[in-house]
Structure 1
Amino acid sequence: MDNQNPLGSNVKQQEVQTPNESKRTPKAYLRMIALISTFGGLLFGYDTGVVNGALLFMAQPDQLNLTPFKEGLVASSLLFGAALGAVLGGRLSDRFGRRKNILYLACVFFFAALGCALAPTSDIMIVFRFILGLAVGGASVTVPTYLAEMSPAENRGRVVTQNELMIVTGQFLAFLMNAILGNIYGDTGHIWRWMLAIASIPAVVLWLGMLVLPESPRWLVVQGKFGEALNVLKRVREEERAAAELKEIQEVVDAEAHLEKASAKEFAVTPWIRRLLFIGIGVGIIQQITGVNAINYYGTQILKEAGFSMQAALIANTANGVISVTATLVGMWLLGKLGRRTIFLIGLTMTTITQCFIGVFSMTLSDQPFFPYLILSMTVTFMAFQQGCSAPITWLIMSEIFPLRLRGIGMGTVVFFSWIANFTVGLCFPVFLHGIGLSQTFFIFAFGGLMAIFFVAKWLPETKGRTLEQLEHCFRNYKTIDCRKL
């Protein structure tokens, strides 16, 4: 097909919709696309959260007999796999398409979840958790990209943020299923296998759902499939807007085609781009060093350490899931009201204060009967500010700061470092908890929170209310323009 004539005769041949084509309005069809594709986010959340509770059972001597270090490996092997999966996910979606890559990821989610559920030894469990992590990392990059490319510009932020909502929903469902199964069948040692196996169900839903969804129109244009791209746009846009948007996409693709292929070399030799990489990596890391995923992965163990029984800890931990979902909805609302820096600084300040309180209370009140409930109230408060303020900003900032031509390689790099930091926290937390105790461990996280506040105050740009072109101009001239101000 002639790439210089994207709106030519081939498009006209495909403009008429077939009788069996969906009768849904563009908004309804986009909602369906968001619902189905974000099952990738739901799986992300469930598979990272289910270990929070399942570890208590699989660690028992008559099961996998895990040491604290092996507990860390079981939890963090998924995170190391996710780091590699994030890098590979972007490249594979560029090569095979967003939709097809999500279909592949659904298969990996399914078989890896069953592999974990059937694992006879801790070593095999670690291998399948790593494979599961490849799918988690791939979904963390591919699903937001697919949503962004399917959404109209005015709704992109809200639609893409639905993936974050599905992630915390998946974590809540994992906590809830752990509590139900652990309390009803807690005397059955292998109940952890059912906790892990449940993740195969949304994987099937994701695979079946993606079979009926279209490919990203932007990816189709890159492949020269202009007619297919137009048909997709007509299903998610108003009729008169589809052709104009197709032309706009083609103009951007043509403009990028005249440039040299993006490479990592530019991050080393171009000062303003190198600075953006530093900021992006910093944002990805500070999301982890505050200890959010210590609560996500080991919240049940923390509550058990504080004095709850195993069954009570499983139930109490669901409160962290409920507040995460609620706070994410609040965070989506806050994004339209306050600047990114303001929201981030509020979240980091409050989570750091909460970490300090957990450390102090653990030192001074651990012998009091109300101590377990005090720690629960602190973890819930932490998750409220983390998921309501810090978490929504993290992925948004990383997706906004890089120029278009370097956005793919830039996002892949910073997400890789974020997952590596996540892996480090997941591996070290149970060792620290058993080695230096609850109090000192959370003082370490509080110190990480202080470093995060300093980083955001000094380097984080304000991106709210600016077009990507305005941001790029600001970043190019960072020595004369203070990008931290609105």
Structure 2
Amino acid sequence: MTATPEGAIRRDPTSAEIEELVADTPPSGKKRSLGFLAIVACLGSLLFGYDTGVIAGALPFMHMPTDAGGLQLTSFEEGLIGGLLAIGAALGAIVGGRMSDRWGRRHNITMLAIVFIIGTVGCTIAPNIWVLYPFRIVLGFAVGGASATVPVFLAESAPKRLRGPLVAIDQFMIVFGQLVAYTMNAWISSHNGGPQVETTDGHMSWDEAIPILEQLTITGGNGDAWRLMLVLATIPAVALWIGIRMLPESSRWYAANFRYPEAIGALKRLRDEEKDGPVAIEIEQMVEVNRQEEEAEKWTLRQAWNTKWTKKILLIGITLGCFDQLTGINTAMYYLPKVLHAVGFSSADSITLNVYTGIASCIGAGTGLWAVARFLRRHVGMYQEAGITIALSSLALVFAFGVAPYELEDGTFSANMPAMVPWLVLVLVALFVFIKQSGTVVWIYMGELFPAKIRGIGNGLAVGCLWIMNAIVTAVFPPMIENLGGAITYGIFAAINLVAFLFYWKVVPETKIYTLEEIEERLEKEYS
């Protein structure tokens, strides 16, 4: 058995050689618990959630005049702020995945923590919208890179008995990060008395100032509160950078690169052999995976696209990714305070009430863990799309008959508008995000749908399309709600989700009850 100076073994070791290697190789550092590994790695997912959710509370302050500390946004600029982060995330997911394959999962997360810090600080100190834009792309790159790398690091580092729960916790932490963002937004807004401006006549809320803005001379305000909301993300980013350096690299990444001694050293830092079994057996399984992957055929994207049955699978995966974003979930994640303000709540109250939808989202994510374990994938997807269609149709009706008739020309509302209407909008949005989070199966499909020969490129293409659709929806929603109104906007999204329901019902295959090999065999027969 020959080893290079880097520790890479050039041929597959036998069981006896593995036993000898395990006996002779010490742990590569201090013992680390799986709980510590989960806490540290999931900070990347918490950052993912925080950075996508924090903008909801920051935007009302950004809309204020530059003289008051804001950025004086238009609806088009508002959409770009969210859309550019999604474009950066698409790049981060694709490039970050390749970087982690080349240099390692832990190495990639370490670099992403630095990118998180650079992106956050850059956005925080941006003097104008043109400086903010590129740093939103940088921050998005970190978000996308984390979405592609953290689940892999957890899955490869965890023992079999805890792999599922750890990866599920990672997904939950994204939603929890959004809740943390909404909560901090509410606290900062409340502490600052909500968006306010200073004029020659004293203080007034931004809502009061908007109708008479041309008559006012703005001398100051608290519009820069959004900077504090954003900069708080540096705290978990620094913690991630420190914590990840205390953990070993993924043992499976080492093994995939034939660096078996280092894989053993990393594994010994995390494993309790009484609970997880002998390290030698786990290393043998990694060696066997390497053998199978070397023998397996790999296709290019062109081969997959030119083959009838794999082309159909690619189209299904891409469509699922697009429909996941066309649910309109980001309209709630990024713009709920804008929506609540549009139905009569003050800007300050809208930021505070956003917390309740964050709670509904977390409860939904927890319910989703039970749902995907209990029911067939297609049925969960159909439940999600049917529920969202009903919730968004109801929202459209409330805007059409409960909001629009009472809206005045200056953007305020008639005193005759029923007091329950704004609260009904809040309840329906909370129901919408609960259904979405409790019925999300698209990420499971991404891992199960594609055959082995195109699993990497298929997953990358579908996830990339998902992030691009995220950017489109995020960018177009503010102009839609401003120019078309809530009734037409939510009616359009409801119609799209009805089409998505039919897609799950008529087109999407079931994957839960089959092994990955059985799925591949069935789809090849059905789609050829």
Q: TM-score, normalised by structure 2?
A: 0.86
- Would you say the 8 A contact 1:158–1:332 is kept in 2? no
Question: Residue type of the partner of 1:381?
Answer: L
Hey, what does 1:51 align to over in structure 2? 55
Q: Return 237-246 or 198-207, whichever deviates more.
A: 237-246
Q: Return 9-18 or 358-367, whichever deviates more.
A: 9-18
Report the Cα distance in structure 1 between the residues aligned to 2:25 and 2:457, rounded to whole angstroms: 35
User: How far did 1:154 drift?
Assistant: 4.7
Q: Deviations over 1:97-124 (max 9, x none)?
A: 1110011111000111010000001011
Report the Cα distance in structure 1 between the residues aligned to 2:380 and 2:370, rounded to whole angstroms: 11
Q: Return 404-413 or 300-309, whichever deviates more.
A: 404-413
Report the Cα distance in structure 2 between the residues aligned to 1:405 and 1:246, rounded to whole angstroms: 24
Residues 112/46 of structure 1: CA separation in 2 closer, same or farther (3 Å cut): same
Residues 138/126 of structure 1: CA separation in 2 closer, same or farther (3 Å cut): same
Does residue 1:216 correspond to 2:223, yes or no? no
User: How far did 1:261 drift?
Assistant: 4.9
Tell me which of 445, 452, 456 is aligned to 1:408.
456
Map 1:452-463; keep pairs closer than 5 Å: 452-463=500-511
Tell me which of 448, 467, 475 is aligned to 2:523.
475
Does residue 1:267 correspond to 2:304, yes or no? yes
Q: Return 217-226 or 164-173, whichever deviates more.
A: 217-226
Hey, what does 2:409 align to over in structure 1? none
Report the Cα distance in structure 2 between the residues aligned to 1:154 and 1:460, rounded to whole angstroms: 30
Report the Cα distance in structure 2 between the residues aligned to 1:383 and 1:354, rounded to whole angstroms: 9
Hey, what does 1:60 align to over in structure 2? 64
User: How far did 1:461 drift?
Assistant: 1.9
Map 1:2-41; keep pairs closer than 5 Å: 2-6=9-13, 8=17, 11-12=21-22, 14-17=24-27, 21-22=30-31, 29-41=33-45
- Would you say the 8 A contact 1:14–1:227 is kept in 2? no
Hey, what does 1:122 align to over in structure 2? 129
Alignment length (residue pairs): 472
Hey, what does 1:308 align to over in structure 2? 345
Report the Cα distance in structure 1 between the residues aligned to 2:442 and 2:296, rounded to whole angstroms: 29
Hey, what does 1:229 align to over in structure 2? 263
State, as a whole percentage, how many aligned pairs show the same letter: 38
SS at match of 2:526: coil
Question: Residue type of the partner of 1:236?
Answer: R
Report the Cα distance in structure 1 between the residues aligned to 2:236 and 2:300, rounded to whole angstroms: 36
Unaligned runs of 5+ in 1: 481-486
Hey, what does 2:356 align to over in structure 1? 319
Report the Cα distance in structure 2 between the residues aligned to 1:98 and 1:461, rounded to whole angstroms: 32
Unaligned runs of 5+ in 2: 4-8, 197-221, 404-416
Question: Residue type of the partner of 2:181?
Answer: A
Tell me which of 398, 418, 421 is aligned to 2:466.
418
User: How far did 1:361 drift?
Assistant: 0.9
- Would you say the 8 A contact 2:63–2:73 is kept in 1? yes
Hey, what does 1:183 align to over in structure 2? 190
The CA RMSD measured in Å over matched residues stands at 1.8
Q: Deviations over 1:242-267 (max 9, x none)?
A: 21221122122122224555421232
Report the Cα distance in structure 2 between the residues aligned to 1:377 and 1:14, rounded to whole angstroms: 61
Report the Cα distance in structure 2 between the residues aligned to 1:165 and 1:173, rounded to whole angstroms: 12
User: How far did 1:32 drift?
Assistant: 2.3
Report the Cα distance in structure 1 between the residues aligned to 2:282 and 2:453, rounded to whole angstroms: 19
User: How far did 1:12 drift?
Assistant: 3.8
SS at match of 1:204: helix
User: How far did 1:381 drift?
Assistant: 0.4
- Would you say the 8 A contact 2:120–2:139 is kept in 1? yes
Question: Residue type of the partner of 1:156?
Answer: R
Does residue 1:69 correspond to 2:76, yes or no? yes
- Would you say the 8 A contact 2:340–2:426 is kept in 1? yes
Question: Residue type of the partner of 1:21?
Answer: K
SS at match of 1:377: helix
- Would you say the 8 A contact 2:297–2:453 is kept in 1? no
- Would you say the 8 A contact 1:150–1:236 is kept in 2? no
Hey, what does 2:426 align to over in structure 1? 376
Report the Cα distance in structure 2 between the residues aligned to 1:110 and 1:17, rounded to whole angstroms: 31
Residues 342/259 of structure 1: CA separation in 2 closer, same or farther (3 Å cut): closer
Map 1:33-432; keep pairs closer than 5 Å: 33-62=37-66, 63-185=70-192, 186=194, 187=196, 188-234=222-268, 235-236=270-271, 238=273, 240-259=277-296, 261-366=298-403, 367-390=417-440, 393-432=441-480
Hey, what does 2:200 align to over in structure 1? none
Q: Which has the larger radius of gyration?
A: 2
Question: Residue type of the partner of 1:202?
Answer: P
Question: Residue type of the partner of 1:441?
Answer: T
Report the Cα distance in structure 2 between the residues aligned to 1:450 and 1:281, rounded to whole angstroms: 18
SS at match of 1:355: helix
Report the Cα distance in structure 2 between the residues aligned to 1:462 and 1:213, rounded to whole angstroms: 38
Question: Residue type of the partner of 2:30?
Answer: E
Q: Deviations over 1:399-454 (max 9, x none)?
A: 11123343222221111000011000000000001101111110011011011101
Question: Residue type of the partner of 1:436?
Answer: L
Report the Cα distance in structure 2 between the residues aligned to 1:394 and 1:14, rounded to whole angstroms: 44
Residues 134/14 of structure 1: CA separation in 2 closer, same or farther (3 Å cut): farther
Residues 158/270 of structure 1: CA separation in 2 closer, same or farther (3 Å cut): farther
SS at match of 1:219: helix
Residues 233/402 of structure 1: CA separation in 2 closer, same or farther (3 Å cut): farther
- Would you say the 8 A contact 2:22–2:280 is kept in 1? no
Question: Residue type of the partner of 1:369?
Answer: A
User: How far did 1:156 drift?
Assistant: 2.9
Report the Cα distance in structure 1 between the residues aligned to 2:495 and 2:161, rounded to whole angstroms: 39
SS at match of 1:447: helix
Q: Deviations over 1:172-200 (max 9, x none)?
A: 11111111101111342100000010111
Residues 476/438 of structure 1: CA separation in 2 closer, same or farther (3 Å cut): same
Question: Residue type of the partner of 2:477?
Answer: F
Tell me which of 464, 470, 492 is aligned to 1:444.
492
Hey, what does 1:484 align to over in structure 2? none
Report the Cα distance in structure 2 between the residues aligned to 1:424 and 1:159, rounded to whole angstroms: 31
Residues 32/14 of structure 1: CA separation in 2 closer, same or farther (3 Å cut): farther
Report the Cα distance in structure 2 between the residues aligned to 1:218 and 1:403, rounded to whole angstroms: 21
Q: TM-score, normalised by structure 1?
A: 0.93
Residues 479/116 of structure 1: CA separation in 2 closer, same or farther (3 Å cut): closer
